[in-house]
A and B are shown apart, each in its own frame.
Chain A
Amino acid sequence: MKRNTLRILAGAVIAAVGLNAHSAFAADYPEKPVRLIVPTAAGGSLDTIARLLGQRLEATLGKPFVVENRAGANGNTAFEFVAKAKPDGYTLLVASDALAINPSLYQNVNYDPVKSYAPVALVTTAAQVLVVNPALGVKDLKGFTAVAKQKGKALSIGSPGSGSAGHLSAVLYQSETKTEWTHVAFKGGGPAVTNVVGGHIDGLFVTLAPAVPQIKAGKLVALAVTTPKRAVALPDVPAVGESLPGFDVTNWQGVFAPAGTPAAVVNKLNATIQKIVAEPEIQTKLVDLGFETAAGAPAELGKQVQENFAKWAKIIPQANITVD
């Protein structure tokens, strides 16, 4: 009897200590510098988001958040690195939709976009915009589709890279409208936009940041954005979905931890990130970068990854742009 009581007491003490240790872990987190792994080279917009977040996280949580660029294989190097990292909250990933797209694009990918990570927080979403050179003489999406049907392969539409969101938007648009044009891949949005402005190619699906100043200067005609709703930065430009119901290519940027990271840590990071993204100063900066803020619960990011993964797994094989 006595022995049993002791045993129960001991059990309770162990359980209490265990619980305490757990919540203490979240309360003390972070106790040492945290690595923010970025799948692109320094200087890109995703890198800039990571550095903005890192600086504010450091100021709020009191330990350095160090941005580490591990560019390579269109992001796969970084995705695999974080998937295999210790799930203790000290290695985080700042990723974009490439995380959900690459498994359909590459034959050998050593991570699972859904199972390898604990989603922490969605940070931003972004639209692609279809722009054309004014010389093409097209004013709206209907006119564009008509020209595409008439010119066929003589119409040259660029992208910021093969397999990029701009390229995939074009692939989706072609399959929805039964058009077929010539795809010209560039290295990055800047050079691609310049080639449309210079009249060397006819048009382009691209992120907002490099295109908006040229649109405002009248050097490019914006026909439509790829998100279901119009973009804040371009309120007069319709969404593709307004004429092609269901059309949706939404880029997103979010923070992930390796699967198995304690929920308390994930929640603490999520709450902090939500607070940071709500700061007016950060909001303005993100909008200037061409993004719209979209911080939400971890589950929201998880849902986004799952939906994207399923969608591109269906479309990419149809368009036959798989690479190895």
Chain B
Amino acid sequence: MELLQNLALGMSVVMTVDNLMYCFFGALLGTVVGVLPGVGPVVTIALLLPMTFGLPAVTAIIMLAGIYYGAQYGGSTTAILMKLPGEPSSVVTAIDGHAMAQKGQAGVALGIAAIGSFIAGSIAALFMALFSPALASLALKFGPADNFALMAFGLIGAVVLARGDPLKAIAMVLTGLAFGLVGTDVSSNQARLSFGFSSLADGISFVVISMGLVGVSEIIANLERPEGERSIQHRIGKVWPDRAAFAASWRAILRGTGIGSLLGVLPGAGAALAAFTAYSSEKKLAKDPSRFGRGAIEGVAGPESANNAAAQTALVPLLTLGLPSGASTALLLGALTIQGIVPGPQIMDDMPDLFWGVIASMWIGNIMLVVLNLPLIGLWVRMMRIPYRLLYPAILLFCAIGVFSLSSNPADVFLTAIFGLLGYVFIKLDCDPAPLLLGFILGPLMEEDFRRALIITQGDFGVFVTRPISATLLAAALVLLITLLVPAIRRGREVAFQE
């Protein structure tokens, strides 16, 4: 019954005119900035931060959290319509979501993304109400060795998520790892692979590499094709998800929610891994994995749900341990401290109204997002009617503005262009950029934790197999690798026999 009391307390906090208004304002603003490619929640939250100084703490956090998850939803819209992923989580949404849009099902993809996010948000809120204290201690149990093992597991999953040749996928993961190494090493503070460019000393930004490889390259490839075959087609088709779409995606939504709720709690790689893992598992479980990459609705439903669930459960380590899962939650943390709320183990006991109020607000915010976005779908879909010769310069311009706004560095815009060309080469070679991007995200984190684990044990590799969490995850990674390689080897032989 404590669960119901907590949720009721949360609801009573949110259900004031002011809080509902700020919640709506945050979700709306978040959606709008999320839709603009590259202009992410980080810039928006940073700009609005001073405005919240005068608000009551709960209201301020409700609004900023609204921007955060609103932007994640808005980001999916851009990923689906224009194949421009601005957040790690929308990289996988872009794969099948954009393929659906090309088939004239943009509305279905957007609808399922909104509804999946809402269902995931609702279940994750219940999940947090039930297990928050346990989840907080789960995050504490993950030491450097365990983090490394989790990410190794995730990387092998990245190979699964790629379409086509596993060898190419492995090559892409390794390329991603190499790009991830660029920048200043955490343990020794030495700049690596920066070739003396000060712009590379802090590494390559995710937005730069993902906008370039996935977004800009798509525009180059589109311009090459004759008008009729361009990826953004003027057919609209179904605007609303129908019963068949629900039937095909409800399992994916539930699985995505489960995966996202658990991984979101793990700081660092957790939130980024959620969408990728959900995508890989949908592809593994599908009867016909070849549909993936060509507009499989599960490939949108699963990752979108996982992403939203993770965004929500990531609040547990944020509020109880002060651990942000990314740049936008780091800003939420800043907003909290400025309100005099210091995240810590007692926050659930000392400030139940804040903790449960924020959770309840996320749920209400998700309802608002659905209400807000379902009518907008018609508008978004109509945007695809804009002639491409008018649309693509606008997309490129917004991309450039967004990338520049990251750290006011013109070099980032040039880098995006270079990655755009590289992405075009990858399209020609039929190499999928998604494994590269996951390798890019996980590579540096993995290396840092690998080295931390060895520094702590002074070089004893045994730590990876003697710690139960690490050993289990590495064993699972090994099993996944075997199931991946065995069919490939067998198929290779069959082909050889046929010849």
Instruction: Give A residues with C-beta under 8 Å from B.
Output: 41-45, 47-48, 51-52, 54-55, 67-74, 77, 105, 153-154, 156, 161-163, 182-187, 190-191, 193-195, 197-201, 209-210, 212-214, 216-217, 219, 284-285, 288-289, 321, 323-324
Contact = CB atoms under 8 A, between A and B. Distances in A.
Interface in B158-207: 184, 186-191, 198-199, 201-202
A100 B268 CA distance: 31
A182 B201 contact: no
Nearest to B202: A72
B50 A45 contact: no
Nearest to A289: B337
B267 interface: yes
Interface in B339-356: 340, 342-347
A48 B342 contact: no
Given A43-B331, A67-B46, A72-B407, A324 B191 contact: yes
Contacts of A289: 337-338
B115 interface: no
B340 A288 contact: yes
Nearest to A282: B53
A198 B143 contact: yes
Contacts of B337: 45, 48, 209, 288-289
Given A162-B189, A198-B143, A201-B456, A43 B323 contact: no
B466 interface: no
Contacts of B190: 323-324
Contacts of A45: 334, 337
Contacts of B455: 156, 182-184
Contacts of A73: 184, 198, 201-202
A154 B458 contact: yes
Given A154-B458, A185-B186, A288-B337, A191 B202 contact: no
Given A45-B334, A184-B456, 15 more contacts: A41-B327, A42-B331, A43-B46, A71-B407, A72-B198, A156-B456, A162-B188, A182-B458, A187-B186, A190-B321, A197-B321, A200-B456, A209-B342, A212-B342, A213-B347
A268 to B, nearest CB: 21
A190 B268 CA distance: 11
A44 to B, nearest CB: 7
Contacts of B409: 70, 72
A200 B145 CA distance: 9
B407 A69 contact: yes
Contact of A191 (B184, B267, B346): B267
B202 A190 contact: no
Interface stretch (B134-142, B227-235, B250-258, B481-489): B134-142
A285 B340 contact: yes
A51 B186 contact: no
Contacts of B338: 48, 52, 285, 288-289
Nearest to B51: A55
Contacts of B333: 43, 190
Interface of B: 42-43, 45-46, 49-50, 53, 139-144, 184, 186-191, 198-199, 201-202, 267-268, 317, 321-324, 327, 330-331, 333-334, 337-338, 340, 342-347, 407-409, 448, 452, 455-456, 458
A213 B330 contact: no
A201 B457 CA distance: 10
Contact of A198 (B142, B324, B330): B142
A285 B142 CA distance: 32
B44 to A, nearest CB: 10
A198 B408 contact: no
A288 B188 CA distance: 32
17 contacts: A43-B42, A43-B334, A45-B334, A48-B337, A71-B407, A72-B198, A77-B198, A182-B456, A184-B455, A184-B456, A185-B189, A186-B186, A190-B267, A200-B144, A210-B322, A219-B345, A288-B340
Contacts of A195: 143-144
A288 B342 CA distance: 8
Contacts of B187: 162, 185
Instruction: Give the 10 A-B CB pairs with smallest separation, nearest first.
Output: A213-B344, A200-B143, A43-B330, A162-B189, A42-B46, A55-B50, A198-B140, A43-B331, A323-B189, A217-B345
B321 A194 contact: yes
A239 B246 CA distance: 63
B204 to A, nearest CB: 13
Contacts of A67: 46
Nearest to B329: A43
B49 A51 contact: yes
A74 B46 CA distance: 20
Contacts of B198: 72-73, 77
A198 B141 contact: yes
A86 to B, nearest CB: 17
B242 to A, nearest CB: 42
A161 B186 contact: yes
A190 B342 CA distance: 12
